[in-house]
């Protein structure tokens, strides 16, 4: 009986948050051609702010996928640069899927306002940008894309996070694809570049890390608890609790 109760609780912890996310998600009425990608004002104006900047964003994926996952991307500008460089992985248009300057650095993702996950400025950021550019070049899945379980846009950003631990990137639990790694890297760094992760192609795994806290992944759905900035990490819903401060 105790075993059955434990199994029921585990299933409920995965299924109920996901069901709530599906029921409450309202896809944009616009098509992907007409949905907004307008700037949100989250990125400093390069005409005013001359310091170097690195930012990472995540927004609900377009259409029905937004009930389950977010899309994430990274932007940066060097000291004195007049514009940002933005990198996304997107499926449209065929391989290679890594796209540069696909949209405004802080633009809505087809009608979904992004959350700012990383916001690094000033001293030491030029060195981080060098590392980010090297990580973009070393991404191993430039010609491969799968919505589930990866590799996808979140796999790309998690690869950068692992390669540049100085970003302290904490991708939300509903960034499906962040846990996808090849079998040769089944045990390694968590997406934040801190702590440790064990993952079987993003389908089954666990993370124990200062940034993510404790997180369990089953069939690409992640459930856990953030210890450093207390909150629940739930499938579909992502972070439930006080908003995490961008690093």
Give the model's pLDDT for residue 9.
75
Within 8 A by CB and 6+ apart from 10, the residues are none
CB atoms within 10 A of CB 223: 19
Whole-number pLDDT of residue 1? 65
Q: How many CB atoms lie within 10 A of CB 178?
A: 39
| Cα separations in angstroms, 1 against 111, 235, 239 | 47, 26, 32
- Give, as one character, the DSSP assignment of residue 141: T
Q: Decide if 100 contacts 87 (C-beta within 8 A).
A: yes
Low pLDDT (below 50) residues in the chain:
none
- The alpha carbon dihedral of 119, 124, 126, 130 has a sign of negative
pLDDT computed for residue 199 by the predictor:
97
CA 26 to chain centroid, in Å, comes to: 21
- pLDDT (tens digit, 9 = 90+) per residue, 175-233? 999 999 999 999 999 999 999 999 999 999 999 999 999 999 999 999 999 998 899 99
Query: What's the pLDDT at 6?
Result: 67
Which of 131, 195, 123 lies closest to 166 in space, CA to CA? 131
How far apart (Å, rounded) are the C-alpha atoms in residues 95 and 87? 15
């Amino acid at each position: 009986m105790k075993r059955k109760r434990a199994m029921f609780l585990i299933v409920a912890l995965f299924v109920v948050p996901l069901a709530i996310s599906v029921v409450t998600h309202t896809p944009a009425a616009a098509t992907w051609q007409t949905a907004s990608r307008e700037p949100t004002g989250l990125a400093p104006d390069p005409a005013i702010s001359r310091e170097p900047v690195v930012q990472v964003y995540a927004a609900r994926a377009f259409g029905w996928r937004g009930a389950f996952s977010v899309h994430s991307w990274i932007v940066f500008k060097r000291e004195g640069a007049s514009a940002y460089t933005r990198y996304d992985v997107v499926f449209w248009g065929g391989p290679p899927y890594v796209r540069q300057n696909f949209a405004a650095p802080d633009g809505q993702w087809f009608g979904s306002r992004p959350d700012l996950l990383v916001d690094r400025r000033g001293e030491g950021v030029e060195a981080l940008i060098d590392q980010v550019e090297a990580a973009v070049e070393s991404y191993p899945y430039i010609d491969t894309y799968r919505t589930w379980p990866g590799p996808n846009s979140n796999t790309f950003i998690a690869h950068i996070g692992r390669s540049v631990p100085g970003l302290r990137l904490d991708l939300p639990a509903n960034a499906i694809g962040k846990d996808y790694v090849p079998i040769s890297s089944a045990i390694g760094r968590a997406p934040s570049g801190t702590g440790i992760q064990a993952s079987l192609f993003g389908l089954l795994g666990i993370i124990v890390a200062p940034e993510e806290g404790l997180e369990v992944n089953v069939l690409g759905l992640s459930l856990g608890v953030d210890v450093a900035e207390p909150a629940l990490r739930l499938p579909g819903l992502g972070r439930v609790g006080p908003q995490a401060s961008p690093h």
